[in-house]
Amino acid sequence: MKDVQRLAIVDPSDATREPLRNLLLGVETVWLEAECSRYEFFVDVVKQSTPDIVVVALDTDHTKALQLIQQLTAEMPKLPILAVSSRGDGQSILQALRAGAKEFLTAPVVLEELLTALQRLRASRGGPDGTPSANGQGHSQSLVISVIGSRGGVGSTSIAVNLGCNLAQDANFNVALIDLDLALGDVDVALDLIPDYTLADVAMNVDRLDMAFLRRSLCKHACGLSVLPHPVQMEDISLIHEDHLGRVINLLRASYSHLIFDLSKRYTPTDMTAMRASDVVLLVCQLELTSLRNVVRMLHSFSQEEALAEKIRVVVNRVGSDDCDISLKKAEETIGRSIYWQVPNDYKAVLGSRNAGEPLLTHAPRSKAQQSLQGLANALCGKDQQPAPKKERRSFFSFR
């Protein structure tokens, strides 16, 4: 996988080194470059293996461990050090940080805390020469996107699916799509996938959830997109709570560069959890009165939560269809903000893609809709600017 963090660990105690080693081996973004059972040999091990991060367990001999951290800091000042100890009191933490450790975790180490610490260390270290990482959104954090429709049938799932497939074409990206329309989602149908596991299986095993189990729960499409489908049985919906989703998001962020959530139209607690965790929320609508009225209502509701309101980007789907009685200019006046992206009407290509269970990039790669959605993927990653809007078709009775 891209941008794997190479770690070296030192812990003279087998009883604590083995659990930490096993935890690290279950993280896809980590490669265990070296492990050592003697403090006095570890500097040579680090010089030979040149890891990105070192992990120093303090408990076997606190004094020797702190001296080791001081030596590593003096000889390799740009090397991030993560200290681990069962002594989580303020004095122990302060000693480790003063010696040169950049992060401190209390043993036994919790996976989510480990992933968060590794992300911070990656961000602080940057590239191999100490410069910031040049990976689009920055490697230290995933780009999380929620897609929600202003009503049923506006095409939000098609946009989520095809956006994910287009993002997955970049070799530097690792993309996952989670279907949060728990009752009536159809991401798996749109991609003709028969999953072995669903979000319900993840929820039922949340107490023992780790990176390895979560990765096995996602099914991989031929285009490279990983998918976590909604529950198969309706009665399993009640198993999934917002705290479960929060833990899933934290784990996925460590292994995937891009997360996409296809939300329901019910604004459930899980929907709101996904939106709050997102960097961007794509609000999909069409140029017709009911859809735009709902956009106004939704924007008003989101405005009560400033952090959420700033994430909203309005996407107009099926621009140029015969059903579009409202102009783009009038739509912007109605909703009180500019339209972020336009997807042209391409009914034949999109319907054919859905019926075939294929993404547009394989079913109709030259279609207008596919070209627009590729542009949307580029824009979200900062690769490209939105193209100038094409002149729209208006019926005789269209109002402005």
- Cα 175 from Cα 172, distance rounded (Å): 10
Instruction: Tell me which of 109 and 140 has the higher pLDDT.
Output: 109
Choose the CATH number for 5-125 among 3.40.50.2300, 3.30.420.40, 3.80.30.20, 3.40.50.300. Answer: 3.40.50.2300
Reply yes or no on whether the pLDDT at 290 is more than 90. yes
Domain with CATH 3.40.50.300 in the chain: 143-380
Choose the CATH number for 143-380 among 3.40.50.300, 3.90.1150.10, 3.40.630.40, 3.40.50.2300. Answer: 3.40.50.300
Instruction: Tell me which of 26 and 310 has the higher pLDDT.
Output: 310
Reply yes or no on whether the pLDDT at 384 is more than 70. no
Reply yes or no on whether the pLDDT at 18 is more than 60. yes
Task: Give 5-17 pLDDT, tens digit per residue.
Answer: 899 999 999 999 9
pLDDT of residue 3: 62
Domain with CATH 3.40.50.2300 in the chain: 5-125
| This prediction's pTM | 0.72
What SS3 state is found at 208?
helix
- Cα 101 from Cα 86, distance rounded (Å): 16
Instruction: Tell me which of 372 and 388 has the higher pLDDT.
Output: 372
pLDDT of residue 137: 37
Q: Both tokens of residue 33?
A: 């470059």
Mean pLDDT of 283-301: 96
Give whichever of 28-32, 65-69, 129-133, 213-217 has the largest mean pLDDT: 65-69
Task: Give 173-229 pLDDT, tens digit per residue.
Answer: 999 999 999 999 999 999 999 999 999 999 988 777 777 788 889 999 999 999 999
Task: Give 310-329 pLDDT, tens digit per residue.
Answer: 999 999 999 998 877 799 99
- Cα 318 from Cα 287, distance rounded (Å): 8
Average pLDDT of the chain is 88
pLDDT of residue 123: 77
What proportion of the chain, given as a percentage, has pLDDT over 70?
91
What are the CB-based long-range contacts (under 8 Å, 24+) for 300-305? 305/276
State the greatest distance between any 2 C-alpha atoms of the chain, in Å, as a whole number: 84
Mean pLDDT of 36-63: 95
Instruction: Tell the residue number behind the tokens 């009180």, with chain if given.
Output: 336
392: buried, middle or exposed (CB in 10 Å: 19+, 13-18, 0-12)?
A: middle
Instruction: Tell the residue number behind the tokens 């729209």, with chain if given.
Output: 392
Sheet holding 30-36, edge to edge: 30-36, 5-10, 53-57, 81-85, 103-106
Contact 323, 345 (CB under 8 A): no
Provide the 8-state DSSP code for 365. Answer: T
pLDDT of residue 397: 36
